[in-house]
Structure 1
Amino acid sequence: MNNQDFTTTIVVNSTPEAAYQAINNVRGWWLGQIEGPTDQLNDEFSYRNHGIHYSKHRITELLPGKKVAWLTTDSSLEFVEDKNEWTGTSITFDIAGAGNQTEIRFTHHGLVPSCPCFGACSGGWTHFINGSLQSFIDTGKGKPM
């Protein structure tokens, strides 16, 4: 059976190292209130979009120019019945050079089509990864809105 975790891939006009730095600058590409450090192993940060979404993430893996991983340790999604749906899921950014560009494969492990938030959350991630993060890496300006 195919892995059904939500995954999207972008190719950016940047080096793997610059892409890695941009991913770790979460405030540059993700809309909402972000508290805590977002670029140190084992640190935790929270994301809040008031009245819609709260999540807390522990940074579990940092391989410069190659990978960033987070574990979602707490969540509250106000638009679904199981508000803690993200708790215990993980998020990875796999980074690889592709000629003079860089490919980033984003996966939200545990966000699968059977989850009630899949439609809204996969749409949100598509916007933030394929739109805002890609723009942030390529131009220095994210498009979080």
Structure 2
Amino acid sequence: MKNQDFTTTILVNKTPKQAFDAINNVRDWWSEEIEGSTDKLNAEFKYHFQDVHRCKMKITELVPNKKVVWLVEENHFSFTKDQNEWVGTKIIFEISKKDGKTEIHFTHQGLVPAYECYKICQDAWTQYIQESLKNLIEIGKGKTNGKEKPQTENERKLSSGKN
């Protein structure tokens, strides 16, 4: 059976170290609504966006300039029946050199099309990785969520109750 985990890849004109440092600077590409350390092995951090999405991550792998893995320990979506859709899944960033550039291969292992949240999560991760993280790496400024401020179209709809 074909692997159905969500993946997306970006290529940047920066070093693997610059990519690794940006990935671990979660507040500057995902959200200012992050509590806890995001750059130490076994550290845990929490994310929330209003009451739409809350989760707790544990950093389970941190290989300098090569790999970052987060384990989703807790999750809540206001828009799904099953609150465990992300629990136990892994968010993986693999960094490598390719054609003189740095490639970041992002996988949300366990985020599959059968999940109720899949379409919204796919759209959000795509925007956060392909736009915000890429911009942070390349120009030093991501498109992060401000405090209680939606970034993606789906976040705007969900925060206004238009689902």
Question: Under a length normalisation based on structure 2, what TM-score does the superposition of the two structures give?
Answer: 0.87
Name 1:132's counterpart in structure 2: 132
* Contact 1:46-1:55 within 8 A present in 2 as well: yes
CA displacement, residues 96-137 of structure 1 (integer Å, 9 cap, x when unaligned): 012331000000011000111000001000010001000000
Name 2:96's counterpart in structure 1: 96
Code of the aligned partner of 2:76 = S
Name 1:114's counterpart in structure 2: 114
Give aligned-pair identity as a percent.
52
Matched, 1:75 2:86: no
Report deviation, 1:83.
Answer: 1.9
Runs of 4+ in 1 over 6 A off after TM superposition: none
Report deviation, 1:32.
Answer: 4.7
CA displacement, residues 16-38 of structure 1 (integer Å, 9 cap, x when unaligned): 11100100000010025100000
Report deviation, 1:84.
Answer: 2.4
CA displacement, residues 41-74 of structure 1 (integer Å, 9 cap, x when unaligned): 0000000001210010000001111100000000
- Give distance in 2, aligned partners of 1:94 and 1:106: 6
* Contact 1:15-1:100 within 8 A present in 2 as well: no
* Contact 1:45-1:56 within 8 A present in 2 as well: yes
Name 1:65's counterpart in structure 2: 65
Partner SS for 2:138 = helix
Which region of structure 1 is more displaced relative to structure 2, 62-71 or 94-103?
Answer: 94-103
Greater strand content: 1
Higher CA-based Rg: 2
- Give distance in 1, aligned partners of 2:127 and 2:61: 24
Name 1:15's counterpart in structure 2: 15
Question: Under a length normalisation based on structure 1, what TM-score does the superposition of the two structures give?
Answer: 0.97
- Give distance in 2, aligned partners of 1:47 and 1:117: 17
Code of the aligned partner of 1:76 = H
Q: Which runs of 5+ in 1 are unaligned?
A: none
